[in-house]
């Protein structure tokens, strides 16, 4: 076990992937000499050179388009999108080209491209810097969409994503970059398996990315009132690990889903639909969702009220138990 921050774990995971395969290249804005705005790629250009750690122009469409071309030539590119809200200029390349290229070629072309996106709020940033847009990509067939919540997952999942022959959109909760945790030498799960973070018998609380820590905190508070909450980290939002999700839902009969994205048509809606469809006879209450309000992301002074915190999660747990 080694203890490190999530940011350092991502850095070391990228380094390990680049050491293992010289076809792995990293590209993005300010990722070379600067090491990225969050310093996730710090030191990589010094070690691997500017041909493998490429500072690009400020053009997300060009970054993704270049990565597609590199993948067609046998490389495994890892793109950094500087902030979540900056991905939209590259959105057409991702959903119209990257997601469809394997199917378009009848499976003859692999698309081993990773799109790294720092996501979510909680850092006091200005507009376009705090979005949770995973549902856009999870809705697009041909893309794998994952989100790490711990340094250990960050270290192993980024390497597993690089090894995928399908494109992976890799969400990194930016407000967790500085959280520390133990990192084991070998992964305990594959890229698309959910993780039971905490066992519990009364309610299942499902989260991913930045909301996992909120869910754990809510479960600890609930325990002081005698409520035994099970916490599940989805880790992968497309595909969903429905085997684990349904088993956990059946074990408690109550499910609450929390995420930072707006509640309307968020990942929680798919979780609720899947659990209701497959576990209906085992449920003792409707599946409840806790998310951000259906509004554009507010100024930083209001983000604590906008994002789903522990109090709103506890309220949903209480409502679930009241049925």
CB within 8 Å of 265: residues ≥ 6 apart: 135
Tokens 């030498």 map to which residue? 185
Catalytic residue among 129, 192, 208, 259: 129
Q: What is the DSSP string of 57-79?
A: -S-HHHHHHHHHHHHHTT-EEEE
303, 210 in Cβ contact below 8 A? Answer: no
The beta-strand segments (E) located in the chain are 2-5, 24-28, 53-55, 76-80, 114-119, 144-147, 168-173, 180-183, 195-198, 203-207, 229-233, 236-238, 255-262, 288-292
Whether 246 is catalytic is: no
DSSP annotation of 296 reads P
10, 26 in Cβ contact below 8 A? Answer: no
Neighbours of 30 (CB within 10 A): 15
CB within 8 Å of 47: residues ≥ 6 apart: 15, 18
CB within 8 Å of 227: residues ≥ 6 apart: 202, 203, 317, 321
Residues annotated catalytic, as ranges = 129
């Amino acid at each position: 076990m080694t203890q490190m921050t999530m940011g350092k774990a991502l850095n070391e995971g990228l380094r390990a992937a680049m050491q293992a395969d010289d076809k792995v290249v990293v590209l993005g804005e300010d990722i070379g000499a600067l090491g990225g705005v969050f310093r996730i790629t710090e030191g990589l250009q010094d070690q691997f050179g500017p041909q493998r750690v490429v500072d690009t122009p400020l053009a997300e469409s060009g970054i993704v388009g270049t990565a597609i071309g590199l993948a067609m030539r046998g490389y495994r590119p890892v793109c950094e999108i500087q902030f979540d809200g900056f991905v939209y200029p590259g959105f057409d390349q991702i959903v119209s080209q990257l997601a469809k290229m394997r199917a378009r070629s009848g499976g003859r072309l692999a698309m081993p491209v990773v799109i790294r996106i720092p996501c979510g709020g909680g850092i006091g940033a200005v507009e376009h810097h705090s979005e949770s847009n995973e549902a856009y990509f999870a809705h697009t067939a041909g893309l794998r969409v994952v989100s790490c919540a711990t340094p250990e997952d960050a270290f192993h999942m980024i390497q597993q994503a690089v090894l995928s022959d399908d494109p992976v959109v890799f969400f990194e909760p930016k407000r967790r970059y500085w959280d520390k945790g133990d990192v084991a030498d070998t992964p305990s799960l594959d890229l698309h398996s959910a993780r039971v973070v905490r066992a519990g018998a009364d309610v299942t609380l499902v989260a991913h990315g930045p909301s996992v820590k909120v869910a754990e905190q809510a479960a600890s508070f609930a325990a002081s009132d005698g409520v035994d909450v099970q916490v599940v980290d989805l880790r992968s939002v497309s595909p969903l690990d429905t085997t684990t999700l349904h088993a956990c839902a059946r074990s408690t009969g109550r499910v609450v889903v929390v995420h930072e994205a707006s509640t309307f048509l968020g990942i929680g809606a798919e979780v609720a639909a899947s659990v209701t469809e497959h576990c209906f006879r085992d449920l003792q209450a409707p599946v409840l969702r806790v998310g951000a309000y259906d509004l554009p992301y507010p100024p930083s002074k209001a983000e604590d009220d906008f994002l789903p915190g522990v109090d709103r999660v506890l309220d949903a747990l209480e409502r679930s138990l009241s049925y």
